[in-house]
Amino acid sequence: MSRGELTASAYTMLYRGQQREALTIFRMATFLYPDDPGSHRALAEGLFLNGDKNTAIAELDKALELNKDQTQIKAILEQRDKMKK
- The domain that contains 54 carries what CATH number? 1.25.40.10
What is the distance between the alpha carbons of residues 21 and 71, in angstroms, rounded to a whole number? 30
Tens digits of residue pLDDT in 8-50: 999 999 999 999 999 999 999 999 999 999 999 999 999 999 9
Count of structural domains, the chain:
1
CB 38: neighbour CB atoms within 10 A?
A: 17
User: What is the predicted pLDDT for the residue at 77?
Assistant: 86
The pLDDT value recorded for residue 19 is: 93
Return the pLDDT at 53: 94
- Structural domain boundaries enclosing 12: 3-84
